[in-house]
Amino acid sequence: MTDDSDEETPPPRSATVTRQTAETEITVELTVDGDGDADVSTGVGFFDHMLESFAKHGLFDLRVECDGDLEIDDHHTVEDVAITLGDALAEALGDKRGVRRFADRRVPLDEAVASVVVDLSGRPHVEFRGEFSQDAVGEFTSDMARHFARSLATNAGITLHAEIERGRNAHHEVEALFKALARTLDDATRRDPHRSDTPSTKGEL
């Protein structure tokens, strides 16, 4: 009979990253194997909502504090949060030993559908297709969703293919994208019970 209490508990996959520039001051705390809890404050209401949705649907515990130059626009805030979150994800995953690595999801929101495919390859590459039906949602510039995905993937070392397949409402299109990204990253970062090594013939990612 096996004593389960003797089995080694995998270490928590979490990271805290700070970033300070002349444009933003940011702290991100991320736990990959979380419960979907979020505490987010960026000064951009819709962006906060999207980050909370990202945490909820990816089952990530996420805290984001950002003081950005919103008197200019939302660009630096969204971009730098994505950069910091990407750095935190890369740090939390470490050598990516035992992860599933590949994943894809399609997520609808009413009339909108977004799809995301990822490879935790260590090689940043982004392909994005589709457009947003309106220029802004509240104080959030719609195309910054594309930039968020690109900056996150680049700093996390992820190959990312994303597409807004259809839609008529930018709120729905952006939200479907964030949910698809969350679900895909949740799938790709999960530990594979059949694998203990790094999923690459190179031996590293």
102's enclosing H/E stretch is strand 102-109
Give me the pLDDT at residue 12, please: 86
On the CB side of 62, CA atoms within 13 Å amount to 30
For residue 101, is it left (φ>0), alpha (ψ between -120 and 50) or beta? left
pLDDT of residue 204: 82
Q: Which two tokens stand for residue 28?
A: 């991100």
pLDDT, residue 11, reads: 81
Reported as a single tens digit per residue, the pLDDT across 46-101 is 999 999 999 999 999 999 999 999 999 999 999 999 999 999 999 999 999 999 99
Q: How confident is the model at residue 7 (pLDDT cuts 50, 70, 90)?
A: low
pTM of the entire structure? 0.94
Tokens 């990407």, residue located: 86
pLDDT over 90 percentage in the chain: 89
Is-contact 135 201, C-beta < 8 A? no
Range in 3-12, 142-151, 179-188 with the lowest mean pLDDT: 3-12
pLDDT in tens, 99-155: 999 999 999 999 999 999 999 999 999 999 999 999 999 999 999 999 999 999 999
Give the count of alpha carbons within 13 A of 201, CB side only.
Answer: 0
Could you give all domains of the chain from N- to C-terminal order, each with its CATH number? 12-189 (3.30.230.40)
Q: Which residue has the tokens 């999923």?
A: 199
Listed residue (129, 180, 188, 123) closest to 156, CA to CA: 123
Is residue 177 pLDDT above 90, yes or no? yes
Q: Does position 9 have pLDDT exceeding 80, yes or no?
A: no
Query: Reading across the β-sheet that carries 125-129, which strands appear in turn?
Result: 102-109, 112-119, 159-166, 125-129
* Integer CA distances (angstroms), 106 to 18, 38, 125, 142, 177, in order: 32, 23, 20, 19, 9
**H or E element at residue 65:** strand 61-68
pLDDT of residue 3: 52
